[in-house]
Amino acid sequence: MPFKKKAKPNPEIPTSALPDIIFMLLFFFMVSTVMRETTLKVNVLLPQANQVQKMEKANLVANIYVGKPKEADQFGTAPRIQVNDVFITLEQIQQFAIESIANVPEVDKNRFRVAIKGDVGLDMGVVIDIREELRETEALKIYYAASKGEVE
């Protein structure tokens, strides 16, 4: 009697480790991804200071950028105020401060701060106007951003 070769079934690909691999990839991308920060539409060269202090808890800080627009042909050369990714007027500062404070957890409301990041050549009148608008909303903790360096 002739021997017949039995057809071997194709071995199945083991999929028991597949969920582990997927979760490892998911965890890797969650840890290594950098969240997008604000795209600056104004030129901000921070003034130099010899004593600077790093602010902790960046989620409790609302940043206001002030400077000349990068696209001068579209927005002009007068200093503009930028929050998040949009330009606002001086009259909209109060609304921005109210919305920013509302987004902070109740426990941290007393630690909420506003950081004004103004260009080194900026007229201080604009910064004073922003500060006065912030006072109206009781946002009294205001910081002025600077970079570490030697003051002339």
Domain membership flag for residue 22: no
Domain membership flag for residue 123: yes
Report the alpha-carbon angle 51-56-62, nearest 5: 95
Identify the CA nearest to 127 among candidates 90, 100, 99, 98: 90
How many domains is the chain partitioned into structurally? 1
- Amino acid, res. 118: G
Domain membership flag for residue 13: no
Domain membership flag for residue 97: yes
- Domain range spanning residue 131? 48-148
Q: Which residue has the higher pLDDT, 29 or 54?
A: 29
Strands 48-49, 61-67: pairing kind = unpaired
pLDDT digits (tens, 9 = 90+) for 126-151: 999 999 999 998 888 999 888 887 76
Q: Which residue has the higher pLDDT, 114 or 5?
A: 114
pLDDT of residue 151: 61
pLDDT digits (tens, 9 = 90+) for 46-76: 888 888 888 777 778 899 999 999 998 898 8
Question: Which H or E element spans position 72?
Answer: helix 72-75
Domain membership flag for residue 8: no
Residue 149: C-alpha distances to residues 46, 51, 80, 146 (Å)? 10, 8, 26, 9
pLDDT of residue 152: 60
Domain membership flag for residue 21: no
What span, in angstroms and rounded, lies between the C-alpha atoms of 69 and 76?
7
**b or e along 105-128 (b: 16 or more beta carbons within 10 Å of the residue's beta carbon)?**
eeeeeeebebbbbbbeebeeebbe
Domain membership flag for residue 90: yes
Domain membership flag for residue 67: yes
**What average pLDDT does this structure show over 90-115?**
91
What span, in angstroms and rounded, lies between the C-alpha atoms of 87 and 23?
40
* Position 6 confidence tier, pLDDT thresholds 50, 70, 90: confident
What span, in angstroms and rounded, lies between the C-alpha atoms of 31 and 63?
25
